[in-house]
């Protein structure tokens, strides 16, 4: 007689996937947001800083760029907990700069530059 392990193994894998999905959602910072480029230029740098500071943090795009029509998830894994009011600065490939001041990232999940 041959035993089939496919059903129990599949059930265990589904349970593990649900635990991982639940854990990552629970660990998400309420200030995480999607940055959408609704402009006609390529965004080359994105800086996010607490509104109560005078210094911009590191470029959160790193080596990536954000083409027109694209979006990127910005996560707060390396930022300090607490403040909700943030300023966002973008630099475009053509040299233009864009700013949004006092964005309440605890209340919004989509930030659009146009």
- Reply yes or no on whether the pLDDT at 72 is more than 90: yes
In our burial notation (b when 16+ CB lie closer than 10 A, e otherwise), range 18-38 reads: eeeeeeeeeeeeebebebbbe
User: Is residue 69 assigned to a domain?
Assistant: yes
User: Is residue 3 assigned to a domain?
Assistant: no
Q: Which residue has the higher pLDDT, 28 or 41?
A: 41
Span 16-44, mean pLDDT?
A: 73
User: Is residue 37 assigned to a domain?
Assistant: yes
111 CB neighbour count, 10 Å cutoff? 19
Domain count, the chain: 1
User: Is residue 88 assigned to a domain?
Assistant: yes
User: Is residue 98 assigned to a domain?
Assistant: yes
**What is the Cα–Cα distance from 2 to 63, expressed in whole angstroms?**
54
- Reply yes or no on whether the pLDDT at 10 is more than 50: no
pLDDT at 81: 67
pTM of the model: 0.72
Residue-wise pLDDT for 35-48, tens only, equals 999 999 999 999 99
User: Is residue 23 assigned to a domain?
Assistant: no
- Domain, as residue range, for 47: 29-113
pLDDT band at 78 (very low <50, low <70, confident <90, very high): low
User: Is residue 21 assigned to a domain?
Assistant: no
Highest mean predicted confidence (pLDDT) among 10-14, 49-53, 80-84: 49-53
User: Is residue 16 assigned to a domain?
Assistant: no
- Reply yes or no on whether the pLDDT at 4 is more than 90: no
CATH number (domain holding residue 39): 2.60.40.2890
Q: Are 111 and 66 in contact (CB under 8 A)?
A: no
């Amino acid at each position: 007689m041959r035993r089939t392990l496919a059903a129990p193994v599949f059930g265990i894998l589904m349970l593990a996937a649900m635990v991982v999905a639940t854990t990552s959602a629970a660990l998400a910072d309420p200030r995480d947001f999607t940055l959408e480029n609704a402009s006609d230029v390529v965004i080359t740098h994105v800086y996010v800083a607490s509104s109560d500071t005078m210094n911009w943090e590191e470029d959160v795009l790193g080596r990536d760029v954000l083409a027109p029509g694209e979006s990127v998830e910005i996560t707060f894994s390396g930022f300090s907990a607490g403040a909700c009011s943030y300023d966002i600065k973008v630099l475009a490939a053509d040299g233009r700069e864009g700013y949004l001041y006092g964005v309440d990232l605890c209340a919004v999940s989509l930030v659009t530059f146009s």
